[in-house]
Amino acid sequence: MRLPLPESSTALPALYLACLMGLPSGADAAMQPCGSPATALADVRSPAQVAALAGRMIEIQAIVTADFSGDGGLRGFFLQTADAQRVHRPGLSEGLFVYAPRARADVGDMVRVSGKIEEKFGQTQLVLSGSPPVVCARGLSVTPQTLTLPLAGESDLAALEGMLVRLPQTLTVSDVHELGRYGTLALSHGRPIAPTQQALPGPAAQQAAVANARNRLLLDDGSTRQFPAVVPYPPPRLSPDHPVRAGDTITGVQGVLERRHGQWRLQPVRGAGAPVYQHANPRPVAPPRHPATALRVAAFNLQNYFNGDGHGGGLDAPDNRGAPDTAALARQQAKLVAALRGLDADVIGLMEVQNNGYGPTGAIRQLAAMLGPDWRVADPGTPALGTDAIAVGLLYNARSALPAGRVATTWLGERSPQPLAATFRAAVSGAPVTVVVNHFKSKNCVEAAGAQADQRDGQGCWNPARVQAADTLARWLGTAPTGIADAGVLVIGDLNSYAMEDPIRLLARRGYSDLVARFAGPHAYSYVYAAQAGYLDHVLADPLAAAHVVAVQAWHINADEPAAFAYAPTRGSGGAPGFYAPGPYRSSDHDPLVVDFASSPRTR
């Protein structure tokens, strides 16, 4: 028989446990009765006990806090010691994941299980034996433990692993990149900034990186599915017109804490109060022109725009980094054109365009044609721009931007794509400005060795190559390469360096000021990586050009948006993605920047 639990009880007193001697039907004969001595979860977590327990069959009696069994789930459930039975050993968790692919459990049940302890996916778990869980009582609960960010150290998390926790704070969504793929959101207290965005490389950046790591927790979806048909965040489900963006906030977060696949994450608990989302960072409208604007220049990394052979073929070439087929290419073009038109620019510097020439089939020429009959390509007169698969490019509206001098390029050194420079005047009036679009070597560590390897100072791989590129660029610009000596110089593009890194500080010493910092302030960003915001995309100006700049803005259409909204979340997946919409949002992974020039110098 099963003794009833008193209605007012929320925990199971020791005396009552000792009375629970009946077994439900179907229980394993070897299983001890409910209330019999069992291994405490604190002992399972104790380093002194792990070796002794390894390989042994043990029994545990505890309360089910969350069940993730079933197809696509975690194939198990979580147990936690009843409040009245906790031993409260400092630093030791009293929760545990039970791997039970052929069983299920109901939240609130006191169950008795047997199995062996093992390490899997980076966490300690109990592998259920052939015996199903024995239900000892129902309708119980445990008190969630309070967890706050940032943490003092990882030990704060280890002490709560497998336990039900609640975060009383208003948390910020700091990353949504994997939302469509794994159903995860990164949460932080406030918005973490990329270390070398505000701190000098070396000890200061390392300290900032440690602080950011302590201020991050994944909110998972309790599922092992990739690219699920329904993504639950924001409730009831993610959709192109119902997004969650980095910078939005969430309150009332509660779930079971675990470490899986090397990351600390919170698995949601059904029946708990649903977290509340606030659109604290709504989608912005296109940046309006400053009233004094005579010429607007934009910079935009297109995230690998490839058009194959220009006739709808060649997209299966080994060096194609963009759309895998013509349908995906059409989706990508629709998003990029929407973004480029929304910029309302007269000159646009582009990065990551297929380097297949300037003729009718070239990617940049076809992109210009999509923008309208007034758009032109700055052609340096070479078959291509260097030897890489991607290149930079310059587009301009011939009705509002008048080219002057020649289009110029140069070699910046090993691994850095060639820049492109052209001088323009506003058709209405104004001084000339030389626009130089760049794309320095990325931080990707493939083939990086010696000094080019990651020095663990926050600047990543290939930093010396980027420094060399910056130095060569500054020297080259000193020669007035377009032939217009009285033009101010505007350096734009993805320099793959945050604001405090060596290449940017070198260019500052050569007289190029950071206009993003000047106009957008200390929290400026155009890119989000690993839940950290900052800008790799720059607007740098010499004093002559800087005197005419009246506004610099980022249009946050990409960095804050889930990758699921891109034209093709994964290359080769085939078919139109379920989250696709043709607008500008998530047309790339970088936000475009716009720079407004006045015809006359600014007055201070």
Label residue 49 by pLDDT band (50, 70, 90): confident
Q: Report pLDDT for 328.
A: 92
Amino acid found at 252: G
Angle between helices 502-509 and 463-477 (to 10 degrees): 20
Q: Report pLDDT for 570.
A: 55
pLDDT in tens, 189-201: 999 999 999 999 9
Average per-residue pLDDT for the chain: 91
pLDDT in tens, 145-193: 999 999 998 889 999 999 999 999 999 999 999 999 999 999 999 999 9
| Complete edge-to-edge strand list for the sheet that includes strand 593-598 | 375-377, 390-397, 347-354, 293-305, 593-598, 549-554
Residue with the bigger pLDDT between 571 and 354: it is 354
Label residue 6 by pLDDT band (50, 70, 90): very low
Cα–Cα distances (Å) from 374 to 369, 395, 402, 403, 596, in that order, read 8, 10, 12, 13, 20
pLDDT in tens, 366-421: 999 999 999 999 999 999 999 999 999 999 999 999 999 999 999 998 888 999 99
Residue 150: cis peptide before it, omega within 30 degrees of 0: yes
pLDDT in tens, 541-589: 999 999 999 999 999 999 999 999 999 865 434 334 579 999 999 999 9
Domains belonging to the chain, first-starting first, are 14-137 (2.40.50.140), 145-278 (2.40.50), 293-598 (3.60.10.10)
Q: Report pLDDT for 47.
A: 79
- Choose among 475, 578, 537: nearest CA to 194: 537
Q: For residue 383, give both structure tokens.
A: 């078959």
Distance CA 408, CA 377 (A): 13
Q: Report pLDDT for 191.
A: 97
Distance CA 172, CA 485 (A): 48
Label residue 55 by pLDDT band (50, 70, 90): confident
Q: Report pLDDT for 271.
A: 65
Label residue 272 by pLDDT band (50, 70, 90): low
pLDDT in tens, 80-113: 999 999 999 999 999 999 999 999 999 999 999 9
- Biggest distance spanned by C-alpha atoms of the chain: 96
- Say how many C-beta atoms besides its own lie within 10 A of residue 31's C-beta: 18
Mean pLDDT of 37-57: 83
Q: Is residue 74 scored above 60 in pLDDT?
A: yes
pTM above 0.85, yes or no: yes
Mean pLDDT of 40-67: 87
Q: Report pLDDT for 9.
A: 35
Q: Is residue 254 scored above 80 in pLDDT?
A: yes
Amino acid found at 280: A
Q: Report pLDDT for 119.
A: 82
Mean pLDDT of 327-334: 95
Report the percentage of the chain scoring pLDDT > 90.
Answer: 82
Label residue 3 by pLDDT band (50, 70, 90): very low
Q: Is residue 11 scored above 90 in pLDDT?
A: no
Q: Report pLDDT for 26.
A: 37
Mean pLDDT of 288-298: 97
Phi, then psi, of 295 in degrees rounded to 5: -145, 130
Label residue 326 by pLDDT band (50, 70, 90): very high
Per DSSP, which regions of 333-463 are E strands?
347-354, 375-377, 390-397, 401-408, 420-426, 433-439
Q: Report pLDDT for 604.
A: 56
Place of tokens 């992109």: 367
Q: Is residue 23 scored above 70 in pLDDT?
A: no
Mean pLDDT of 532-547: 98
Mean pLDDT of 260-265: 91
